C-alpha cells in the first residue's frame, strides 16, 4: 500500500482514507460503480448505515444491499475552520454534513461546491462519486438541480 499504515497517515500530509473491511467492502465496490447502496434488513425491511453485520433494530443478520436514490436533505452540519489534520489544512474552511437520505438513513459527508453560508437544514442534496484510489470512491453530495 503506497500510503503506509493508517497510523502513519495521521502523522503525514496524506489524506486519511477509509479502510476496506468485510463489512464495508460491498459499499465501496458499489460506490466505485457510481452506486450508493445500503444494507437493508430482510425481516424488518429497515435500511442501515454504516455497514455492520447485524440489524440495530431487530438484530437479524439477514440483509441485502439495496440501491439508494442518492437523494436526501441536509439534517445538520458544521463548518470546520481549523485546526485540523495537516491533510485537510488546504481545504479550510470546509463543511461536514449529516444527510438524511430518502431511505431514512443518516450519512456523514461533505456538500461540494457550496459556500459555508449557503448550507442550511432541509437543503435538498444528491450523491456524487469521487474516485480517490482504485479501491476507494468517496460519496459526497451536491445541491439538487
DSSP labels for 50-66? S--SS-TTT----EEEE
Residue 104 as a binder of Zn ion (CB under 5 A): the answer is no
* Interface with Zn ion in residues 27-46 (CB under 5 A): 41, 44
- Taking the least distance from each CB to Zn ion, the nearer of 39 and 68 is 39
- The answer to whether residues 80 and 96 touch, using CB atoms and an 8 Å cutoff, is yes
Residue 66 as a binder of Zn ion (CB under 5 A): the answer is no
DSSP state, 16?
P
- The answer to whether residues 44 and 60 touch, using CB atoms and an 8 Å cutoff, is yes
Q: How far is the CB of 89 from Zn ion (least distance, A)?
A: 41
Burial of 142 (0-12, 13-18, 19+ CB in 10 A): middle
Residue 55 as a binder of Zn ion (CB under 5 A): the answer is yes
Stretch that binds Zn ion, among 50-58, 65-73, 85-93, 123-131 (CB under 5 A): 50-58
- Taking the least distance from each CB to Zn ion, the nearer of 44 and 132 is 44
Q: How far is the CB of 55 from Zn ion (least distance, A)?
A: 3
Q: What is the CA radius of gyration of the chain?
A: 16
Distance of alpha carbon 92 from alpha carbon 144, whole angstroms: 24
Q: How far is the CB of 106 from Zn ion (least distance, A)?
A: 17
Interface with Zn ion (CB under 5 A): 41, 44, 55, 57-58, 60
Amino acid at each position: 500500500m503506497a500510503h503506509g499504515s493508517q497510523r502513519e497517515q495521521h502523522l503525514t500530509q496524506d489524506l486519511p482514507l477509509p479502510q476496506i473491511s468485510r463489512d464495508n467492502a460491498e459499499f465501496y465496490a458499489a460506490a466505485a460503480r457510481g452506486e450508493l447502496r445500503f444494507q437493508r434488513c430482510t425481516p424488518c425491511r429497515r435500511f442501515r448505515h454504516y455497514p455492520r453485520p447485524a440489524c440495530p433494530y431487530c438484530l437479524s443478520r439477514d440483509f441485502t444491499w439495496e440501491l439508494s436514490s442518492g437523494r436526501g436533505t441536509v439534517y445538520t452540519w458544521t463548518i470546520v475552520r481549523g485546526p485540523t489534520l495537516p491533510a485537510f489544512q488546504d481545504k479550510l474552511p470546509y463543511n461536514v454534513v449529516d444527510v438524511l437520505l430518502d431511505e431514512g438513513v443518516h450519512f456523514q459527508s461533505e456538500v461540494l461546491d457550496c459556500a459555508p453560508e449557503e448550507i442550511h437544514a432541509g437543503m435538498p442534496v444528491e450523491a456524487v462519486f469521487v474516485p480517490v484510489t482504485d479501491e476507494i470512491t468517496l460519496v459526497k453530495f451536491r445541491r439538487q438541480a
